[in-house]
Structure 1
Amino acid sequence: MSDGPSRASLSDWGLEPAVDYIQRVQRSDGLICWYPDGPADPWDHVESAMALSVAGRREAAERAYRWIADAQHDDGALWATYGDADGEEGAHDGDEPRKETHRSAYVAVGAWHHYLCTGDRDFLESLWPTVRDALAFACRQQAPTGEIYWTVGADGAVYEDALIAGCASLYKSLACGAAIAAELEHAAARDRWLEARTRLGAAIRERPDRFDRTWESKSRYAMDWFYPVLCGVVTGDPAQERLADGMDRFLEEGLGCRCVADEPWVTVAESCELVVSLAAVGRVERAREIYEWLFQWTDDEGVFWTGYQFEDEAFWPGERPTWTGGAAVLAADALSGISGAADLFTDPVSE
């Protein structure tokens, strides 16, 4: 989706410090925590691993995916979080341990992304059982109406409600899983996942009543706005219209994208995902303009802060998450065509 050769490498974008930071934070077992000695979650772990793949840090990226294979439960799931200070896997900030479908399934996106970056079929083959079981876990939680339920408790109880952003992510995971299955000639799995994806997409587009039924609507969060575009659920003119409808609500000119519509807080990761969403609908110059704003939110080393509270004029919270740098690398790739996976989110044909 690049419209020219400008800034065609991570060094040109000044992103090497972000990648170096991800690699420094990565544990010896492959897990990429949010920040040194912090917690981790499987979705953000994969996003950080994808940045390593774009940067050509193959050994580090592959260690990250092997961690998922080693940590995966017999049912194909992963805990929602890992590495909390209290040592309780699956929980964070006092929550009960759980297995979230979109976090468990995102390995499919990472595995396909790594293959597009490297062409390493042997490594893709080695990840096939992990991808197969992760998507099987997610598909077992699919409702008759198409949405995929959010989470399963440690006791096996299914929480029968769904998230727009989470299901959009699952839509992308199913697409990438189907691409892997096609590449490795697992036709039955491919067909099964494409059918589940079709039903899921229809639910997201046509059945808003199936989401946020048991909790307050998440529509105030930017991810609910652009994730259906980012993940290919909504395309073409409807995607253009969806993004246009939310711009005044979420975009702060010169700063970035608000994480939550009613909070004076722009976040780098959401801004980067908006950048990729805009590139996906052909608005590459606007995407690049917004992306350029985000480099004011780095520290002296060039590592991104989570975001900026513009009423208090302060970085908040005072953290530098690995996944924020990961999102920045993926946005640069989408804009500049740095890796073989540059079109993963901007060209549905690549699925």
Structure 2
Amino acid sequence: MSLPYVEGILSAEQVADSAAAIAAMQEPCGAVPWTTGEHVDVWNHVEAAMAMLVGGQVEAAERAYAWVPTMQHADGSFPMKIVGGVADDDRGDVNMTAYLAVGIWHHWLVRRDIGFVRHYWPTVRAALDWVVAQQVPWGGINYTPTEDYCLLTGNSSIYQSLRAGVALADLLDDPQPEWELAGGRLGHAVREHRDLFADKSIHSMDWYYPVLGGAVRGRAAFELLDSRWDDFVRPGLGILCVSTNPWVTGAETCELAMALDILGDHRRALTLLRDMQHLREDDGRYWTGWVYGDADVDATTGEPRNVHWPDEHTTYTAAAVILAVDALGEVAGHSTAGSGIMRGTSLAPHFAELGLECGCPSADGVSSVPGRTS
């Protein structure tokens, strides 16, 4: 398999170096922590596996996938935080639990190994069954079974995971109509009821993830990204993690680039990918972020300026870079068969808005009754 690259930004050799850097931080059990000595969460772990796969680290990627079922709870969920192969926070997180479906579909696109898909299907099916069971009547999906609120970023990602799950179900001829129904309600909530999600509006992820996850499309997607562009984008550096701090982060910058790629806005996407390369080390590792500003501020506030922060190189940052390169390589270099995973072109079709319980009319013409069960 030839590796992805983007002309003038990252070569195939540099992509290989970054994939190797992720693999170098992989634990013996197969888990991929945020950085050496840090904790593991299944969402970022799966993202790292996807990046290692397209970056040529196939054996490491498949060891990463092999580890995932070993951490699954009997109810289908995954622990929120894992340290040294042991759950440090045992609560099931809906977004982390759902994302394995995206990883397995991505592996299918790249490797076309139906045996691999069949092997992980029971794990994916149990995971998504648990996730949709946490849905509330207005369409959002609660963060955990013990927290009565929904996160917009996580729910937007779950929308993509459900489309990947239904694509896997179709591939294996194992229909999952409840996932489709849940996906329709969820997509509607992300498009029409963002005010009902927990307010995390200072976070850039809550701004662009409704587009990246695929629920918000077309003109509405352009308008959403344009609405807060100046709040988050810092030309020449990348994008802010939160609007209140002068801290640009590589993973968020690459995710926004992939959201723009979905819309066909390749000019701005490529600019962002190029701008964040100041976080790259020669060996392929990436710093998490950069705090910019007037160094004199440090003397009056005690806050550092013009420094990498935190003092760490993270697997999830390198993974986001590799996946962005693969996505944009399709128009500006070379890509793999998995390059469209964020564009969603191979996923199940977008879900119809059926059986809504939020008070809005449903596509099936049935009047929505709050509290109605379907």
Give distance in 2, aligned partners of 1:276 and 1:13.
21
1:186-237: CA deviation from partner (whole Å, max 9, x where unpaired): 12x1x2211111000111111234211xxxx201100000000001010001
Tell me the equivalent position of 1:101: 94
The amino acid that maps onto 2:158 is: L
Which SS does the other structure have where 1:161 is aligned? strand
- Classify the secondary structure of the residue corresponding to 1:40: coil
Structure 1 residue 45: deviation in Å? Answer: 0.3
Q: Which has the larger radius of gyration?
A: 2
Cα offsets for 1:280-307 (capped at 9, x unmatched): 1111121111101111112242311000
Partner AA of 1:30 in structure 2: G
Distance between the aligned counterparts of 2:343 and 2:181, measured in 1?
22
| Residues 1:161 and 2:149 are matched in the alignment | yes
Partner in structure 2 of residue 124 of structure 1: 117
Q: Secondary structure at the match of 1:81?
A: strand
CA distance in 1, matches of 2:24, 2:61: 13
- C-alpha offsets along residues 81-120 of structure 1, whole Å, 9 cap, x if unaligned? 1116xx86233xxxxx421110111101111011111111
Q: How does 1:187-336 map to 2 (within 5 A)?
A: 187=175, 189=176, 191-212=177-198, 217-311=199-293, 312-336=305-329
The aligned residue for residue 366 of structure 2 is: none
Structure 1 counterpart of 2:128, from 122, 135, 156:
135
Q: Distance in 2 between matches of 1:267 and 1:14?
A: 20
In the alignment, is the contact (CA less than 8 A) between 1:258 and 1:265 conserved in 2? yes
Looking at structure 1, the residues matched to 92 and 347 of structure 2 have their Cα atoms a distance apart, in angstroms, of 29
Deviation at 1:164, TM superposition (A): 0.3
Superposed counterparts of 1:1-150, under 5 Å: 7=7, 11-12=11-12, 14-83=14-83, 89-91=87-89, 97-150=90-143
TM-score (norm 1): 0.90
Q: What is the match of residue 361 of structure 2?
A: none
**One-letter amino acid of the structure 2 residue matched with residue 105 of structure 1:** A
How far apart are the structure 2 equivalents of 1:8 and 1:196?
Answer: 42
**Between the two proteins, what is the percent identity of the paired residues?**
38
Give the match for residue 345 of structure 1.
Answer: 342
Distance 1:238 1:327 in 2: 25
Match of 2:362 in 1: none
Q: For residues 17 and 305 of structure 1, what CA distance do their matches in structure 2 show? A: 15
**5+ long unaligned stretches in structure 2:** 294-304, 349-374
Aligned to 2:228, the other structure's residue is in SS state helix
Helix, strand or coil for the counterpart of 1:33? coil
Structure-2 residue corresponding to 1:170: 158
What's the TM-score once normalised by structure 2's chain length?
A: 0.84
**1:186 equivalent among 168, 174, 181:** 174
Distance 1:341 1:302 in 2: 21
Q: Does the aligned pair in 2 maintain the 1:298–1:305 contact within 8 Å?
A: yes
32-41 vs 132-141, which moves further = 32-41
Look up the equivalent residue of 1:341 and give its one-letter code.
G
Q: How many residues align?
A: 330
How far 1:17 sits from its partner (Å)? 2.1
CA separation of 1:136 and 1:79: change in aligned 2, threshold 3 A: same
The residue type equivalent to 2:65 in the other structure is: Y
Please give the alpha-carbon distance, in whole angstroms, between the structure 2 residues aligned to 1:9 and 1:305: 17
The CA RMSD over aligned residues, in Å, is 1.9
